[in-house]
Each structure stands twice: as structure tokens, then as C-alpha cells.
């Protein structure tokens, strides 16, 4: 009878793995090339659909600015709404960017002409003729019908005002347009106020949160997760990220070759892409799902009070950051919005992708693996700093966005260290994304009328 083969403790084998420095440097070099190309490579113009989403945002921003013009300054600040003059100025800047990049259509030119006429008090007909060079986009009957049936835009309403003053009255479109503006104002005030109320609730827990986060700075590594070496964590993180990059590049080509793909399949493919790096990382360092759940702290009860307190702190820090950096909005013409979030399927996509799967996957990878591996060697503060810098750099935002995301990542790392529960960081991440994506959808993507 053959003797059973004893393979020993598989986790000791994982911890004994040795990775040569040239191998780690090669993986980091490949990731660095990809990052360099994204940040410093030759721009290839705006992505398809940029103008479309930019026009949606401009339309809603202009409507809100007009609808809230008479509201007190504190309420407009609370909702994040500018005066009509500032809103029109910002819209013109966006449309000029698209025009300079040759990414603007006749529809966008029409919006630009109306905005320029309104902002600079120029004759509308002359401005339209000069900008459009004889091209006719909107006509009287179709525009009035669109406005009356909740399909019009702010600049089309301005066109109808001009045409009715110089020609004849059209159908009763004003009632529909005014109802839409009132509805949009009510939505914006309601949803943005809800986020502020959540932040105010968290104020109660800030003293206890600060005390708990302070204890997290002295947390000592322990157990299997506390034994991970820095090379082990770096290799697992880099392999998972590079696999994710390769899968996404392949996915983009595949989706581009399949026009008309049903949104359900799009959500499933995106979900697979989002969860891939976390699953790869867990597969490389654990042999059983139960072990991963226990070591990562996924079964420990989250510190809800600490989560709410940290969320409130992040809101305060964000306001200070906006003031310090004089931040007036995203440099992206679309304002950070995505066509993928439009409609009811877009809401489902935002909830599943941004508010559920992204927090789970990213917290497992950046805090559960990368932060812990760095912390084991260099301490909590250095681990939180380095992992948050990597976290921010892989999100591709502007200057304000990079700093804001880095601060958020640092907070998640400290919260994880303080509570020992990755669920705390996951819930904070969910709450943070939810407070951004859901108001965006309600204000910019939900249909009016």
C-alpha cells in the first residue's frame, strides 16, 4: 500500500515564495509604461460620445442655474449650482474645447451659438449665421413639439423665445419646460440635501472616529496576513492589475465589434472585469474561500460609527480641498459623466458596478493585499500613503481628483487598520460612491417630465 503524500501547510509554502527583484521590476515597468501612456501619451481626441454627454450636462446645468437663480446663496452652494452667468461661461468653455478638438457636431455648434448670443448679448440670428455658416439644425415646428413633449433643451427654449418674438406663437411648450425645470430643481435640492444630512449625522461620531483611527496607527501585523512579505504583496498586486488591464483591452475590442449588445451582457462583462483582479489576488494567496474571508476580516462586524464619522471627515476635507485648489469642475468636457449610466439600465449599471462591485474588488486588492503587505514591512502610515498613491494613480482623474481619491484611499487604509474589518472600508467605499453616482444619475440621467 502506497504511503500518503504529505504536502505540508500550503500557506507556509506561499510565505516561502521568493521573487527576484528583476522580476518585480519588470512587472512594475510594464505597469509604468501603461500609466505613462495614459498620463503623458499623445492624446487621440475625446472618446466617442463625449459631445453627447457634454450636451446633456450643459442642458441640465443651465436649467438648474435658471431655476435656482432666485434661491438664497447658501442653498445654491449646498446643491452645487452656479449663477446663470457662470453656468453659461462654463458651458461655452466646454463647447470651445470640443470645437478645438474638432469633436463638435452641428447640434453642438447650435448650442454654442445660442449660448454665445445669450452670454454676450449678441443678436441671435447673426450669431447663428456666423457660427453655423448656413447650416439649419432646428426648425420652428419640430423644436416646439420637442419642448412640449419633454424632449427639448435649454438652448432650444431660447430659440423658441426668439422665434416667437419675431414670428408667431407656437404650441404651449412653456408649461412643459417650466415643469421640467421645477422638477429638476426639486430633485437636485432633495438628493444633494440627503448627502449633506448623512454628513451631518457623521459629525456626531467624529471624536470617536478620530480616537479609533489613532489606535489604527499603532496596529501591529498578526496572523497569516501579518506575515506577508513586501515582495509577495507587490507581485500579487502587479499580476492582478496587469491581468485586469489585458482583460479590459480585450473586452474593449470585443464590445466594439458587437454593436447593439444588450445592457445585461454589458453589465455582466463589466462585473467580470471589475472582480477579476481581486479574485486573482485571493486565488494566489489563499486555498479556501473561508480562509480568505477570515484573514481579510470580511466576517468581522464593520464599525458603522467609524464609517459614518470618516465619511463626514471626508466631506469636510473635500470642501477645504476644493477651496485650496480653486476647483471649478472636471477638465473633462463630460464632467465625469458617462453615457453608460443613462436610462434605467444605466442606473442598474451604476448601482452594480460603482456602488457594489468596485468597492468590494478595490478594497480587497488595494487595502486587503497591497496596504497590508507594505504595512508589514514599513508601518501603517507608509503603507497607507503608498497604497493610496497607487490607488489614485490608477483612476486617471485631474489634479483635484487625484488628490481627493488619494485622501479617500488613505482614509480607507486607516479605517481598515483601526477596525481590523475590511467590511468597514468596503461600506465606506460604497457610501462614498453612492453619494456621487446616485445624485449624478437623478440630476443628469433620469428623464424629465
> Given this model, what pLDDT does residue 236 score?
95
Of 319, 298, 313, 295, the closest CA to residue 211 belongs to 313
In a domain, 37, yes or no: no
Task: Specify the length of the chain in residues.
Answer: 449
pLDDT at residue 2, as a whole number:
47
Task: Name which of 412, 321, 325, 332 is nearest 364 in CA terms.
Answer: 412
Residue 4 placed within a domain: no
387, 407 in Cβ contact below 8 A?
no
Same domain, 391 and 437: yes
Are 99 and 112 spatial neighbours (Cβ–Cβ below 8 Å)? Answer: yes
Measured distance CA(378)–CA(26) in Å, rounded? 22
Residue 226 lies in a domain: yes
The residue among 141, 173, 205 that closes a domain is: 173
Cβ-Cβ contacts under 8 Å for 270 (sequence gap 6 or more): 349, 353
Contact 155, 132 (CB under 8 A): no
Domain boundary residue, one of 145, 173, 201? 173
Query: Is residue 163 domain-shared with residue 203, that is, in the same domain?
Result: no
Q: For residues 430 and 283, state if they share a domain.
A: yes
Same domain, 235 and 372: yes
Residue 331 lies in a domain: yes
Best CA proximity match to 94, nearest among 77, 76, 108:
108
316 and 425 inside one domain: yes
Distances (CA, A) of 291 to 78, 103, 248: 45, 51, 29
**Does any domain span residue 39?**
no
Q: How many angstroms separate the CA atoms of 85 and 62, rounded? A: 9
pTM of the model: 0.92
Contact predicate 387/374, CB 8 Å: yes
Neighbours of 189 (CB within 10 A): 19
pLDDT tens for each residue of the chain, 449 residues long? 445 544 568 888 888 888 888 999 999 999 999 999 888 877 677 777 889 999 999 999 999 999 999 999 999 999 999 999 999 999 999 999 888 877 788 889 999 999 999 999 998 888 888 888 767 677 778 888 888 888 889 999 988 888 876 665 556 788 889 999 999 999 999 999 999 999 999 999 999 999 999 999 988 888 899 999 999 999 999 999 999 999 888 877 776 666 777 888 888 888 999 999 999 999 999 989 899 999 999 988 899 999 999 999 999 999 999 999 888 777 788 888 888 888 899 999 999 999 999 999 999 999 999 999 999 999 999 999 999 999 999 988 888 999 999 999 999 999 999 999 999 999 999 999 999 999 999 999 999 87
Judgement on whether residues 128 and 232 belong to the same structural domain of the protein: no
Same domain, 326 and 428: yes
Of 6, 15, 7, the closest CA to residue 286 belongs to 15
| Helix (H) / strand (E) containing 53 | helix 50-67
| CA–CA separation, 329 and 203 (whole Å) | 26
Considering the domain architecture, whether residues 238 and 356 belong to the same structural domain is answered as yes
Closest CA to 412 of 375, 367, 381, 373: 367
Residue 60 forms part of a structural domain:
yes
Instruction: Report the alpha-carbon distance of residue 207 to residue 419 in Å, rounded.
Output: 16
Q: Give the Cα separation of 215 and 225 in Å (integer).
A: 19
Q: Provide the phi-psi class of 300: left if phi over 0, else alpha when psi is between -120 and 50, else beta.
A: beta
Asked if residue 183 belongs to a domain, the reply is no
Domain count for the chain, please give it: 2
The pLDDT of residue 252 is 76
Supply the range of the domain harboring residue 99: 50-173
Residue 349 in any domain: the answer is yes
Contact yes or no for 263/348 (Cβ under 8 A): yes
Distance of CA 361 to the CA centre of its chain: 15
One domain for residues 249 and 101: no
Which DSSP string do the residues of 211-226 spell out, in sequence order? HHHHHHHTPPP-TTGG
Phi-psi region of 72 (alpha: psi -120 to 50; beta: other; left: phi over 0): beta
Whole-number pLDDT of residue 167:
60
* Under 8 Å between Cβ of 384 and 376: no
H/E element, 255: helix 230-256
- Statement to judge: residues 293 and 156 lie in one domain: no
User: Are 160 and 230 in a shared domain?
Assistant: no
Instruction: State which of 148, 173, 198 marks the end of a domain.
Output: 173
Same structural domain for residues 235 and 270?
A: yes
Amino acid at each position: 500500500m502506497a504511503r500518503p503524500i504529505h504536502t505540508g501547510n500550503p500557506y507556509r509554502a506561499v510565505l516561502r515564495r521568493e521573487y527576484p527583484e528583476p522580476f518585480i521590476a519588470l512587472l512594475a515597468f510594464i505597469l509604468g509604461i501603461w500609466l505613462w501612456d495614459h498620463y503623458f501619451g499623445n492624446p487621440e481626441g475625446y472618446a466617442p460620445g463625449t459631445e453627447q454627454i457634454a450636451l446633456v450636462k450643459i442642458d441640465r446645468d443651465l436649467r438648474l442655474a435658471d431655476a435656482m437663480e432666485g434661491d438664497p446663496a447658501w442653498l445654491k452652494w449646498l446643491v452645487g449650482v452656479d449663477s446663470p452667468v457662470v453656468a453659461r461661461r462654463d458651458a461655452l468653455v466646454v463647447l470651445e474645447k470640443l470645437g478645438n478638438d474638432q469633436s463638435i457636431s452641428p447640434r453642438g455648434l447650435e448650442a454654442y451659438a445660442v449660448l454665445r448670443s445669450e452670454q454676450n448679448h449678441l443678436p441671435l440670428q447673426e450669431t447663428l449665421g456666423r457660427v453655423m455658416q448656413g447650416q439649419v439644425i432646428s426648425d420652428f415646428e419640430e423644436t416646439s413639439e420637442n419642448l412640449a413633449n419633454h424632449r427639448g433643451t435649454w438652448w432650444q427654449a431660447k430659440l423658441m423665445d426668439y422665434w416667437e418674438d419675431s414670428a408667431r406663437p407656437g404650441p404651449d411648450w412653456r408649461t412643459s419646460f417650466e415643469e421640467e425645470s421645477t422638477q429638476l430643481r426639486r430633485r437636485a435640492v432633495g438628493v444633494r440635501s440627503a448627502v449633506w444630512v448623512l454628513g451631518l449625522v457623521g459629525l456626531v461620531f467624529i471624536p470617536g472616529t478620530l480616537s479609533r483611527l489613532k489606535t489604527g496607527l499603532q496596529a501591529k501585523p498578526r496572523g497569516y496576513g501579518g506575515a506577508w512579505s513586501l515582495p509577495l504583496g507587490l507581485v500579487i498586486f502587479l499580476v492582478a492589475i496587469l491581468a485586469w488591464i489585458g482583460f479590459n483591452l480585450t473586452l474593449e475590442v470585443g464590445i466594439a465589434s458587437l454593436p447593439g449588445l444588450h445592457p445585461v451582457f454589458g453589465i455582466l462583462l463589466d462585473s467580470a472585469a471589475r472582480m477579476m483582479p481581486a479574485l486573482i489576488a485571493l486565488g494566489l494567496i489563499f486555498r479556501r474561500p473561508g480562509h480568505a474571508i477570515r484573514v481579510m476580516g470580511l466576517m468581522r462586524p464593520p464599525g458603522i460609527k467609524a464609517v459614518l464619522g470618516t465619511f463626514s471627515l471626508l466631506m469636510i476635507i473635500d470642501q477645504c480641498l476644493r477651496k485650496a485648489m480653486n476647483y471649478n469642475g472636471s477638465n473633462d468636457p463630460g464632467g465625469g459623466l458617462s453615457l453608460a449610466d443613462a436610462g434605467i439600465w444605466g442606473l442598474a449599471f451604476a448601482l452594480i458596478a460603482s456602488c457594489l462591485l468596485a468597492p468590494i474588488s478595490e478594497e480587497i486588492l488595494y487595502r486587503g493585499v497591497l496596504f497590508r503587505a507594505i504595512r508589514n514591512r514599513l508601518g501603517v502610515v507608509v503603507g497607507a500613503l503608498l497604497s493610496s498613491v497607487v490607488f489614485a494613480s490608477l483612476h486617471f482623474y485631474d489634479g483635484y481628483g487625484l488628490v481627493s481619491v488619494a485622501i479617500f484611499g488613505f482614509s480607507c487604509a486607516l479605517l481598515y487598520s483601526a477596525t481590523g474589518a475590511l467590511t468597514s472600508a468596503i461600506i465606506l467605499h460604497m457610501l462614498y460612491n453612492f453619494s456621487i453616482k446616485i445624485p449624478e444619475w437623478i440630476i443628469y440621467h433620469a428623464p424629465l417630465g
